[in-house]
């Protein structure tokens, strides 16, 4: 188990205390979250879920000492007009708790968890149920964020060797907290993609940002190609470090222009040397609000897609 700093150990204590209370919270999209909060803009939290899930301000007496003191020790409290507010949020994915950035996630280095995280976890679980991992498989989750991809694999394959990479040091810190609370070993490495990391890997996970974000937020901006450039670049890097018989599971979005899926065309061009590509459109229309922005002026729709590459043995 990785040795955590004292403030991060306090976060682990908080997660375990919440788990003991059977805490559960499903994180929705920021737009939906804002609509819910907009119903009562001056609201003060009355439940633990409203503190750690909805990111509402709360009075000191609401939380028990076993929840409040670890949060205070971790530096996770801020004063809001005479009340407190948790700087971090806790969400449940497949029965496992994850700490991540509180709402709203406006900072460029925010650690985001949302609906895509749930779908990514389900994609991984479905693929591994069809074809389980080899024993003691090496697994890397590129852009691990809060660690959902890596820990989903760890729950299904307890002997897997898990690695999580990210350019965001805060993400790696929280991923380590989440792994420790879950009783899993996760090696975290601050790097871009797989720079400086030796392969091969039996499984590589990718849930890259795929929106052309005008705020350049790391967790959201997928670069050129209407947000698809990062997905293509990371796929190329990942395929170069797959072991014989290894797989790449990618969950991302693709801008459809004049009926054409250009990301699929680009990814299909990577099928060589006996590789296979299974590509599926999971949802035909997501983030429709983006279509009103200049970056998407020629886009019909944004589709949610999965791409699973398999290398020959």
Cβ neighbours of residue 226 closer than 8 Å, sequence gap 6 or more: 212, 255, 257, 295, 296, 299, 302
What integer is the mean pLDDT of 118-128?
98
pLDDT (0 to 100) of residue 225: 72
Q: How many helices (H) and strands (E) does the chain have?
A: 9, 12
CA angle 67, 110, 23 (to 5 degrees): 30
Lowest mean pLDDT among 98-102, 185-189, 228-232: 228-232
C-alpha span between 55 and 25 (Å, rounded): 12
Q: What's the average model confidence in pLDDT over 243-248?
A: 97
* pLDDT per residue as tens digits for the range 130-147: 999 999 999 999 999 999
pLDDT tens string 279-293 = 999 999 988 888 888
pLDDT grade for 2, boundaries at 50, 70 and 90: low
Task: Kindly report, residue by residue over 44-67, the tens digit of the pLDDT.
Answer: 999 999 999 999 999 989 999 989
pLDDT at residue 83 above 70? Answer: yes
Whether residue 42 is predicted with pLDDT greater than 90 in this model: the reply is: no
Q: Residue 82 has what pLDDT?
A: 84
Residue 99 confidence class, pLDDT cut points 50, 70, 90:
very high
Share of the chain above pLDDT 70, in %: 96
Both tokens of residue 181? 């609370």
pLDDT for 222 equals 62
Tokens of 312: 């020959």
Q: CA-to-CA distance for 182 and 159, rounded, in angstroms?
A: 14
Could you tell me if residue 250 is left (phi over 0), alpha (psi between -120 and 50 degrees) or otherwise beta? Answer: beta
């Amino acid at each position: 188990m990785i040795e955590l700093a004292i403030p991060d150990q306090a976060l682990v204590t908080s997660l375990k205390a919440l788990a003991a209370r059977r805490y559960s919270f499903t994180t929705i999209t920021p737009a939906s979250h804002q609509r819910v909060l907009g119903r009562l803009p001056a609201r003060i939290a009355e439940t633990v879920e409203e503190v750690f899930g909805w990111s509402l301000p709360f009075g000191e007496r609401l939380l028990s000492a076993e929840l409040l003191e670890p949060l205070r020790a971790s530096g996770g409290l801020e004063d809001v007009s005479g009340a407190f507010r948790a700087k971090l949020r806790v969400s449940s994915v497949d029965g496992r708790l994850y700490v991540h950035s509180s709402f709203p996630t406006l900072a460029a280095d925010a650690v985001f968890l949302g609906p895509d995280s749930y779908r990514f976890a389900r994609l991984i679980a479905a693929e591994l149920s069809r074809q389980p991992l080899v024993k003691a498989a090496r697994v890397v989750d590129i852009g691990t964020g809060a660690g959902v991809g890596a820990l989903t694999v760890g729950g299904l394959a307890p002997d897997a060797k898990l690695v999580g990479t990210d350019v965001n040091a805060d993400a790696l810190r929280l991923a380590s907290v989440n792994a420790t609370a879950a009783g899993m070993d996760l090696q975290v490495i601050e790097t871009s993609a797989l720079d400086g990391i030796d392969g091969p890997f039996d499984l590589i996970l990718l849930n890259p940002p795929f929106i052309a974000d005008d705020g350049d937020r790391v967790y959201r901006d997928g670069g050129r190609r209407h947000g698809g450039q990062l997905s293509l670049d990371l796929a190329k890097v990942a395929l170069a470090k797959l072991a014989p018989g290894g797989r790449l599971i990618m969950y991302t979005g693709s801008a459809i222009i004049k009926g054409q899926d250009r990301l699929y065309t680009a990814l299909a061009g990577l099928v060589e040397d006996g590789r296979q590509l299974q590509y599926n459109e999971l949802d035909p229309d997501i983030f429709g609000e983006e279509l009103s922005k200049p970056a998407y002026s020629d886009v019909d729709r944004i589709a949610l897609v999965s791409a699973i590459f398999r290398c020959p043995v």
